[in-house]
Amino acid sequence: METTTCFYVAVCVLVACLSNVQAAGWDYLNDSGKGPDTWEASYDTCGGSKQSPINIETAMVEEKDLGDFTFVGFGEDDKPVNATMTVSNNGHSVVVGVDGDYHVSGAGLGTTAYKAVQFHFHWGSVNSQGSEHTIDGKAYPGELHIVCYNTSYPNFFSALFNEDGLTVLGFFLEIQTVDNPALTQLFDVISSIQFDEEEEDLSMPVVFNNFLPSDLSSYYRYSGSLTTPPCYEIVTWNVFTEPIMVSEAQLNALRRQYANKHNAADNITLTDTYRPVQPVNNRTVYMTDPNAVTDHMTTLSPNQDNINTENVNTPTPSYVNTPTPSSAPCQFASTSLVALVISKVLASVLDD
């Protein structure tokens, strides 16, 4: 009874917060009054000193042997039984909700595994921009983030209030001339859910190892934040040097997404869905394979000569402490993650 009561209280709080989030709102548009340059005014935590994304200066990274990752459920031979994936447009991005035993551990993440709960995309209107992180000021056409929570906490919601609550696996998207066959089903579904709140289940979950880079031993590591409001500074970031390859046609399926619902009078294209890079401040960025830096830079597209240094040298913001659990939920702006929290808490109650 006590567990059930706690669950209903949590749901009520989250639903109330969801209403507040929708009223406040945020987006990526510079002329809407809700773009990235306004987030700090609405969400204090977006003005912290450990914000993401960042520009990674390869000359400043520090070599550190963090070891290799251990992935469970990511391969064809160990994919979880009864796993499901649901693709949705949440008005800000394309998100793939993950339900299954997908775990990440090792690589200096601590003694407990992190469980994947979703992955999502960031992209640009042209190939010279789109990734959230940049390398020496240069951007990729897009970036994919696999969001995982620390299983030392009871659930995803609990993990949000701890500085080691989440780890995110970040992969740049790079263009090749042909489709990536491992992503055909996913992008076919993405093409069919163009509007906000539209979603569709994948008939078969994608196998991560079929489309992730073959070399996962070379990556950057730093402490940072969510890249969307409320920008909580609870993320251990892993930015891999080898990109995921997709075709221009597959990337265009993302560029054809809309921020509005299907019956809206006007369509608002989801374009340039990335936050500008934030000050590194006094943080250290680690690199597991410094010899890969040169190889990594040679993989950038020939058309990526522009330098994206927006906000790299902006003044250091005042530090904002991580909110207490009593105040934090109402600042949690990602509607898809709020829904995810509800589903995870419900699942834990049903399991009890």
Q: Where are the domains of the chain?
A: 2-351
pLDDT exceeding 70 applies to what percent of the chain?
Answer: 75
* DSSP H or E segment with residue 287: strand 286-287
Mean of pLDDT values over 10-19: 41
328 pLDDT exceeds 80?
A: no
Residue 290: pLDDT band by 50, 70, 90 thresholds? low
2 pLDDT exceeds 70?
A: no
Instruction: Retrieve residue 276's tokens.
Output: 């500008």
Mean of pLDDT values over 268-272: 94
Any idea what the Cα angle at residue 188 is, between residues 187 and 191, rounded to 5°?
A: 85
The radius of gyration computed from the CA coordinates of the chain, to the nearest angstrom, equals 19
Mean of pLDDT values over 214-226: 96
284 pLDDT exceeds 90?
A: yes
Handedness of CA 51, 138, 312, 42 (dihedral sign): negative
Instruction: Retrieve residue 7's tokens.
Output: 């669950």
d(CA 260, CA 325): 31
Residue 331: pLDDT band by 50, 70, 90 thresholds? very low
d(CA 138, CA 132): 10
Residue with more model confidence, 85 or 308: 85
Mean of pLDDT values over 191-196: 96
pTM: 0.81
Output the pLDDT for position 291: 66
205 pLDDT exceeds 70?
A: yes
218 pLDDT exceeds 70?
A: yes
Q: Which of 92, 120, 133, 145 is catalytic?
A: 92
Output the pLDDT for position 292: 58
Instruction: Give the least confident one: 81-90, 138-147, 159-168, 327-336.
Output: 327-336
d(CA 193, CA 175): 22
Mean of pLDDT values over 197-206: 97
Output the pLDDT for position 9: 42
Mean of pLDDT values over 261-280: 96
33 pLDDT exceeds 60?
A: yes
Q: Which one, of 87, 66, 55, lies nearest residue 189 by Cα?
A: 87
Residue 16: pLDDT band by 50, 70, 90 thresholds? very low
Residue 20: pLDDT band by 50, 70, 90 thresholds? very low
Residue with more model confidence, 326 or 60: 60
pLDDT exceeding 90 applies to what percent of the chain?
Answer: 74
193 pLDDT exceeds 80?
A: yes
The reply to whether 122 belongs to the active site is: no
Residue 352: pLDDT band by 50, 70, 90 thresholds? very low
Tell me the one-letter amino acid at 229.
Answer: P
What is the per-residue pLDDT across 308-323, written as a single tens digit (0 to 9) for each? 333 333 333 322 333 3
Mean of pLDDT values over 136-161: 97
**What architecture does CATH give domain 2-351?**
Roll (3.10)
What SS3 class is residue 215? Answer: coil
Output the pLDDT for position 325: 37
Mean of pLDDT values over 87-94: 97
298 pLDDT exceeds 80?
A: no
Residue 31: pLDDT band by 50, 70, 90 thresholds? confident
